[in-house]
Amino acid sequence: MEKETFKKKLNYALWLSIITIVYNTLEGLASTFFGASDETLALFGFGVDSFVEVLSGVGIAHMIYRMKRSDIQERDKFEITALRITGTALYILTAGLVVGAVIAIFNQSEPESTLAGIIVAGISILTMYFLYREKMKVGEKLESQPIISDAKCTKTCFYLSFILLGSSLVYEFWHIPYIDALGSLGIAWYAYKEGREAFQNAKSKSLSCCSDCC
């Protein structure tokens, strides 16, 4: 690949990572606000996870910026620290969602509405699919395993969106008890997996996500 074309592809990859950061920030704000006001634990947990993904996204953007300057072989201290903070935050989120789900079931708490969850999940599915597809394209053209791995890890948010959409739709139309709590437990499971993978990647210093990512 020509040097100029390579540079343009890396610039595009960097812009994709910036879009991911900005989108997750906005998604986190909307999800936590409506999750708290509508008392839907699944949406609130989804929003907190979006904020954690911002931390991860900053590490990815930093990595791609380094790739623009020179060939890199492993993560630097900044990226490792970002992974450790991300992993810790995801473990805390997992514990909080599990405790919240137990309390919600015990108190027989139900959301006022899950309409916001349906809207947020729908937008997220479309956005994450676009980001995943574009990251895979640019990663394959650059033959860059770090960018391809980032694309594969973006699918986690895609799957989380379907969990949120499913639980929100079921409750909004059929008001099945505890479905919101179950949806939050599904998000907690993915948060735990993400947290474990973040610590594994920080420990190995590998530029790739671990083999079972997403």
**Residue 143's pLDDT is what?**
86
Helical axes 41-69 vs 77-107, angle rounded to 10°: 170
Q: What is the CATH number of domain 3-204?
A: 1.20.1510
Which stretches of the chain drop beneath a pLDDT of 70? 1, 206, 208-214
**Residue 1's pLDDT is what?**
67
- In angstroms, rounded to a whole number, what is the distance separating the alpha carbons of residues 96 and 102? 10
Q: What is the DSSP string of 169-188?
A: HHHHHH--TTHHHHHHHHHH
- In angstroms, rounded to a whole number, what is the distance separating the alpha carbons of residues 18 and 111? 33
pTM summary value: 0.94
Q: How many CB atoms sit inside 10 A of residue 130's CB?
A: 14
The DSSP H or E segment spanning 30 is helix 3-37
**Residue 201's pLDDT is what?**
87
Q: Which residues contact 124 (CB under 8 A, 6 or more apart)?
A: 27, 157, 158, 160, 161, 164
- In angstroms, rounded to a whole number, what is the distance separating the alpha carbons of residues 139 and 85? 26
Q: How many CB atoms sit inside 10 A of residue 174's CB?
A: 8
